[in-house]
Amino acid sequence: MEPVVSLAGASLRFGQRTLWEDLDLAIRPGEFFAVLGPNGSGKTSFLKVLLGLQDLHAGSAALAGRPVERGSRLIGYVPQQKSFAPDTPMRARDLVGLGVDGHRWGLRLNAGRINRRIDELLELVGASEYARVPVGQLSGGEQQRLRVAQALASDPQVLLCDEPLLSLDLHHQQAVSALINSQCRERNSAVVFVTHEINPIIDYVDRVLYLAGGRFRVGTPEEVMTTEVLSDLYGSHVEVIRANGRLVVVGLPDATTHHHAEPHALAGEVA
């Protein structure tokens, strides 16, 4: 199967600082691909490259075989959370409606079908009851669920998610992760999911790109999330503990404010 996202010899550098270099990557349709790493390791910048918003220092990046470009219709994007201003003159359903234009849903949708599609998306993210509330009056988590609905609205071939679970409670973390996974499996979208914390999505992830200290590793979670690999990436000993199907990384260097769960939190929390 042709990859829908591909990078060849890709390097990103700001001034003297190399975030990653010589990255070769092919992400196929229907793949759930997680991007992990500490603060400042270049996860958001990686998404910006795919969005055509960040030039590479070297190498190339392509979507569906064509060079990345701004405003690509192939992409759905859940940006890193920023709140809407309290007086934003838009209701929740208007925000989701911005994502529905029907170009992947056959003929141009008429008003009735657009409304039904918006209702369906609001329902999927559990936002029906605040559909008519101005977005600026909603909580961070409620706004976040709308962003997910908006990103799914166009049935994108590539779904880019930047920490989409931030500020969601456990129930909605699970619901939103499952929804993104359905888009991946049922609609064959490639999902690129940036996160500090792999546990909420560990059952869904096919492969991981782990960025740290200007280097990276790519592979399945079993290949990458090990004491040996992460100790090598961080350049100091870290311990990866597996318990109850969850992963805990212990002993990360102080300089990396990393949101992995602490060992005491094993009993069912989600960091």
Ligand X SMILES: Nc1ncnc2c1ncn2[C@@H]1O[C@H](COP(=O)(O)OP(=O)(O)OP(=O)(O)O)[C@@H](O)[C@H]1O
Helix H or strand E segment including 92: helix 92-99
Sort strands 75-78 and 207-212 into parallel, antiparallel or unpaired: unpaired
Q: How far is the CB of 133 from ligand X (least distance, A)?
A: 29
Residue closer to ligand X, measured from CB, 124 or 208:
208
Q: How far is the CB of 162 from ligand X (least distance, A)?
A: 7
Residue closer to ligand X, measured from CB, 49 or 240:
49
Q: How far is the CB of 81 from ligand X (least distance, A)?
A: 11
Task: Give which of 154, 166, 157 is closest to 191, Cα–Cα.
Answer: 157
Q: How far is the CB of 113 from ligand X (least distance, A)?
A: 37
Helix H or strand E segment including 230: helix 227-234
Burial class (CB in 10 A: 0-12, 13-18, 19+), 105: middle
Using CB under 6 A as the binding rule, whether residue 141 contacts ligand X is answered as no
Residue closer to ligand X, measured from CB, 40 or 59:
40
Give the number of residues in contact with ligand X, rule: CB under 6 A.
Answer: 10
Residue closer to ligand X, measured from CB, 182 or 256:
256
CA 33, CA 195: separation in Å to the nearest integer?
11
- Strand, coil or helix: 63: strand
By CB under 6 A, the residues from 5 to 44 that bind ligand X are: 14, 19, 37, 39-44
Q: How far is the CB of 223 from ligand X (least distance, A)?
A: 21
Helix H or strand E segment including 118: helix 111-124
Residue closer to ligand X, measured from CB, 39 or 220:
39
Residue closer to ligand X, measured from CB, 79 or 136:
79
By CB under 6 A, the residues from 40 to 99 that bind ligand X are: 40-45
String of contacts with ligand X for each residue 229-268, x by CB under 6 A: ----------------------------------------
Query: What is the full DSSP assignment across 121-174?
Result: HHHHTT-GGGTTSBGGGS-HHHHHHHHHHHHHTT--SEEEEESTTTT--HHHHH
Sort strands 32-36 and 207-212 into parallel, antiparallel or unpaired: parallel
Q: How far is the CB of 193 from ligand X (least distance, A)?
A: 13
CA atoms in the 13 A half-sphere facing the CB of 63: 24
User: Which residues sit at the interface with ligand X, rule CB under 6 A?
Assistant: 14, 19, 37, 39-45
